[in-house]
Amino acid sequence: MAPLSPEEETAWRALGRAVVVIPRVLDADLMQSEGLNLTEYTVLMNLSEAPEHSLRMSELANYVSISVSGLTRVVERLERSGLVERVRSTADGRGQLACLTPAGLTCLEKAWPVHLESVRRHVMDHLQDVDLAAFADALARIAQAEAGPPVRRRSPR
């Protein structure tokens, strides 16, 4: 295996640092403003984009990139706050669905502009001179190679 070139090493280290720092600062902004952590926000966002605002727990865990047991703990916290509820799947009676409640949608709608402002301040404002289409394509290629095809998304309603 060939070693990384100096340019590759620099890019890899910068990406590694960004992957650690960006979620931490986005999480801190959401927590300070809305009392939600980034994972909770991501769960609410994914549910808002799903048909009927519900997803099987295993599918939701995949979208959020955490284990099913980790998602269960997150959903339990959101349930206690009245933002999500779990129900048995009517399709097979075995699986559980996580469902966004009206209070969860309201919470997400309040957190959405906070998150967007945070993304702009911590990420986009630092990419003014970057070809965003090429940047997004490069990141998507990495993600697709490692995690499969991307999921199409829309804004919450």
CATH of the domain at 41: 1.10.10.10
Q: Does residue 118 sit within a domain?
A: yes
Q: Does residue 138 sit within a domain?
A: yes
Mean pLDDT on 61-74: 94
Q: Does residue 83 sit within a domain?
A: yes
Residue 153 has pLDDT above 70, yes or no: no
Q: Does residue 54 sit within a domain?
A: yes
* Structural domains counted in the chain: 1
Mean pLDDT on 96-109: 97
Q: Does residue 65 sit within a domain?
A: yes
Q: Does residue 16 sit within a domain?
A: no
Question: What is the number of alpha carbons within 13 Å of residue 103 lying toward its C-beta?
Answer: 8
Q: Classify residue 129 as exposed, middle or buried by CB count within 10 Å of its CB (0-12, 13-18, 19+).
A: exposed
How far is the first Cα of the chain from the last one, in angstroms, to the nearest whole number?
49
Q: Which domain holds residue 132?
A: 21-143
Q: Does residue 50 sit within a domain?
A: yes
Q: Does residue 15 sit within a domain?
A: no
Judged by DSSP in three states, 1 sits in coil
Mean pLDDT on 48-61: 94
Give the pLDDT of residue 10: 97
